[in-house]
Amino acid sequence: MRTAIIGGGAAGFFLAVNLKEMMPEMDVTVFERSQRVLTKVEVSGGGRCNCTNSFANVSDLQQVYPRGHRLMKRLFNVFNYKDAYEWFELHGVPLVTQDDDCVFPKAQDSHAIIDCFLSLARRYGVRICTGEKITSLSQLEDFDNIAVTTGGSPSRKGLEWLSASGHETEPPVPSLFSFSVADKQLQSLQGLVVNDVTATLSGSKLRADGPLLITHWGVSGPAILRLSSYAARYLAEREYLSPLSIRWVQLTEEEIRDVIKEQQMLHAQKQLSSYCPFGLQQRLWAYLLQKSLEQRASIRWAEINKKDINRLVNVLQNDVYEIAGRAPFKDEFVTCGGVSLKAVNLSTLESRHVPHLYFAGEVLDIDGVTGGFNFQAAWTTAYTVATSISRQEITSKSSRK
């Protein structure tokens, strides 16, 4: 019994070690096209590897899996985030859950997970072949089972070898990227983090909440990365040009007006720019005053008029910028698209077109927002495939007796 795993990343190694634990007699070989394995795991989470999430604030999987949420809900019955947490702890990788529900190795180092996988692979006798590019299933005719765990493809061309064997595919486009905004004054605030904003693509229902980071090229942070994930195809179709609305303050229009009136009474002779009553950083507040009130940005609270208030309310609730493209860095770690879920058995992840061929990880049309959800999809789909192969082999053994 021989199983080939194409792709030496997170899903590939998780599949390999779990398959060997389920079936020690199985011969397992991992084929990796580059010279190194687990490179994406190494750099993820700033080198700390946000390996899963507590899901404590997830009421609907569609919130965190814009594509593939129904499949993930089904497969969580096989292996979910609680199982993943327990698996790593049992295999010698203590984990910690942050206040934002992201889960990391206690060592705060991605090598804790890499070392775990490589150690288990050596112990179980998993063969690792680097520099091996697989472009056709015919290269692996000697294997009883094949699992494709190649990760996201940057273009449809990378999926052609799977399309040739009858598999439906969804065109790959980038997901989880920051936005370029050609506004020099905004860019001058680089480094500022605003903890609770709502980012919306104007003219659509696409929106995301959370922290926002102002950068020297535009905007990033969890709110923007989530929005880019929700809007991956929407933005690709528009060549990454779209109006972006930022709600800086999570108060209603009436509440904002009440705060301004209160400041007029309490601090009539103070300048508007002297401090911000809405909890924003001073530099951001000064920028928003200048943007909304222009020459009147230096007036006193007593001098603010109805027109000023309207402008200030608008900039705090609906501050509009033009997205001028994706960030000028090759920093997309996730792609939307891949092998269509129509091409696989949703319970086993076996191909509907080629027997004994399986798919796991980002090569499937499943992707999540930032926060450990993509790694969880890798663990869940890989464990499902390991379970499916082992069950099939056990069934085959029984029938041969």
User: 295-345: per-residue pLDDT in tens?
Assistant: 999 999 999 999 999 999 999 999 999 999 998 665 546 899 999 999 999
Residue length of the chain: 401
Q: For residues 390 and 328, which has the higher predicted lDDT (pLDDT)?
A: 390
Q: Write the CB contacts of 33 (distance below 8 Å, at least 6 apart in sequence).
A: 131, 132, 133, 134
Distance separating alpha carbons of residues 382 and 371, to the nearest angstrom: 19
Q: What is the pLDDT of residue 395?
A: 83
Locate tokens 């080629």: which residue? 354
Which residue from 379, 385, 382, 370 is spatially nearest to 82, judged by alpha carbons? 379
The pLDDT tens digits of the residues spanning 52-74 come to: 999 999 999 999 999 999 999 99
pLDDT averaged over every residue in the chain: 95
When pLDDT is averaged across residues 138-159 and rounded to a whole number, the result is 95
Which residues make beta-bridge pairs with 145?
Answer: 3
State the average pLDDT over residues 264-277.
93
pLDDT for res 401: 59
> Rounded to whole angstroms, what are the CA distances from 116 to 13, 86, 87?
10, 14, 11
More confident residue, 126 or 45: 126
Residues 333, 178 contacting (CB under 8 angstroms)? no
Q: What is the mean pLDDT of residues 122-147?
A: 97
Pairing of strands 145-148, 2-6: parallel
pLDDT at 393: 83
Q: What is the mean pLDDT of residues 168-179?
A: 95
Neighbours of 141 (CB within 10 A): 8
**Would the pTM count as exceeding 0.75?**
yes
CA distance 363 to 357: 13
Q: What is the pLDDT of residues 276-296, one digit of tens each?
A: 999 999 999 999 999 999 999
Residue 327 confidence (pLDDT):
85
